[in-house]
Amino acid sequence: MFFYGNHDEETAVDGLQQWFEENPKLPNKIDRNLLWRFYKRSSKDVEETKKLVETFYSLRLKNPRLFINRDPCDVDTENMYKYLHIVPLSRLTPENYHVTCVQFHKLDSKLIHFTEDIKTFIMIQDCHFMEPDVKLDKTAAILSDGEVVIMDMRGVTMKQVTTLIISTMSVFVKYINQAYPNRLRAVHMINCPSYLDKVLAFLKPFMNRELYDMMKCHTKGLESLYECIPKDMLPEEYGGNAGGMAELSLAYRDYVVKMRPLLMDPDYWTVQTSSEGQC
């Protein structure tokens, strides 16, 4: 299902679609919802949208291990789900923000493979960006005005934090800052450990000031989180009515697997050079 704007907006996005398909520096195809997100993030400025799109694909093509060489049915993806739940929620906040919950359900440092896990997280996010945030009916849908991430830090140790790979983290933060298809609005860290200051000190060198200021730490229960995110839209583990994290994570994983053909289609993600395909 695709999001649709008004006549002028659709005309602008049609023009962007044509520009994209005729641009030799870009893949052959782009999902319409993803293109709309770029347009929306760029305040519906066509030229700014083009710059964002080119940055998005340039960064990905330079880092294929993180963005291109992926498969939702491979061992890397299977391994990440053994210890991590990633759940894009189905409702939006009153500010029209989309929320993704991340929970470490098995705390085993041996299961963490940082680069492969970041790759899987990006793949899940790609699936989210290629569908509307809310489907009102068969013809109407909503795109959010920003992304919010809730990170459940319960039981996380410094040993697990230090599995971070500097080169991967640097590319990931650059992607969030310069090429993310939606605006990141906040990262809420809940069930924070007593050594939270050490965690933040470890992460701070990888972030610019804007991203660092988005980190919101909730150290005394969840009441402060509810001031930002309505309680009832959250998973059961956090007092809400959205269902359990394990069930929701499994359901979204099934959706990601259904998206496998598109996620692995080179026409959507890679650029064929002039020498490729020649006999």
Q: Does the residue 198 lie in any domain? A: yes
- 58 and 86 co-located in one domain: no
- 86 and 211 co-located in one domain: yes
- pLDDT given for residue 203 in this prediction: 79
- Give the DSSP per-residue string, 93-104: -TT--EEEEEEE
Q: What is the pLDDT of residues 54-80, one digit of tens each?
A: 999 999 999 999 999 999 999 999 999
Lowest mean pLDDT among 4-8, 10-14, 111-115, 274-278: 274-278
Residues 185-201, mean pLDDT to the nearest whole number: 87
CA–CA gap between residue 256 and residue 80 (Å, rounded):
14
Task: Give the residue from 84, 74, 119, 123 showing the smallest Cα distance to 245.
Answer: 84
pTM above 0.85, yes or no: yes
Averaged confidence pLDDT in the chain: 92
Query: Number of folded domains in the chain?
Result: 2
- 58 and 105 co-located in one domain: no
- 51 and 87 co-located in one domain: no
| Tokens representing residue 200 in the block | 């933040």
**Which CATH number covers residue 189?**
3.40.525.10
- 79 and 58 co-located in one domain: no
Residues 172-178, mean pLDDT to the nearest whole number: 94
Q: What is the pLDDT of residues 158-170, one digit of tens each?
A: 888 888 898 999 9
For residue 117, what are the domain limits? 75-262
- pLDDT given for residue 277 in this prediction: 41
CA–CA gap between residue 209 and residue 222 (Å, rounded):
25
Q: What is the pLDDT of residues 119-129, one digit of tens each?
A: 999 999 999 99
CB 267 within 8 A of CB 28: yes
| Long-range CB contact pairs, 169-175, < 8 A, 24+ | 169/114, 169/118, 169/206, 170/206, 171/59, 171/63, 171/66, 172/66, 172/118, 172/122, 173/206, 173/207, 173/208, 173/211, 174/59, 175/59, 175/122
